[in-house]
């Protein structure tokens, strides 16, 4: 089981503004912050997400095929978070809706740095 996911950014203030609003929808807030790193999580220690400027000082790049997923409580929250992400400047990668016959419901988008994200419920 994953404890958290860290994504790279080249513009920490811009990325932080995006994730502050997105994570708030899940009851998560900042719990760790340094000059080049911010992490969000819930009070119960639930899975979190972090942003960092790369340690090696090189430009952050997007991993091809890499995606982090936010688990929503229901379809209404999937729709709300997906719409919020787009309003915050995310790029659409597949609108919220059912996927297949398994009851999987998800929306896909890329954050301002190009990292691929998903919000889903089952």
**Domain-by-domain residue ranges, the chain?**
4-54+67-121
Superfamily the domain 4-54+67-121 falls into:
2,3-Dihydroxybiphenyl 1,2-Dioxygenase, domain 1 (3.10.180.10)
Is the alpha carbon torsion for 14, 19, 24, 29 positive or negative? negative
- For the stretch 35-69, pLDDT in tens is 999 999 998 877 789 999 998 999 999 887 889 99
Phi-psi region of 5 (alpha: psi -120 to 50; beta: other; left: phi over 0): beta
Integer angstrom CA distances of residue 19 from 26, 115, 117: 11, 12, 11
- Its pTM stands at 0.85
116 φ/ψ sector (left φ>0, alpha ψ -120 to 50, else beta): beta
Residues 19 and 38: beta-carbon distance below 8 Å = yes
């Amino acid at each position: 089981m994953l404890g958290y996911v860290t994504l790279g950014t080249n513009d920490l203030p811009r990325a932080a503004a995006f994730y502050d609003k997105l994570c708030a929808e899940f009851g998560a807030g900042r719990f760790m912050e340094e000059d080049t790193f911010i992490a969000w999580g819930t009070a119960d220690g639930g899975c979190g997400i972090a942003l960092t400027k790369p340690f090696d000082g090189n430009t952050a790049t997007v991993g091809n095929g890499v995606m982090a997923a936010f688990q929503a409580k229901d379809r209404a929250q999937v729709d709300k978070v997906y719409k919020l992400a787009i309003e915050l400047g995310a790029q659409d990668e597949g609108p919220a809706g059912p996927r297949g016959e398994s009851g999987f419901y998800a929306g896909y988008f890329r954050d301002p740095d190009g990292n691929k994200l998903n919000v889903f419920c089952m």
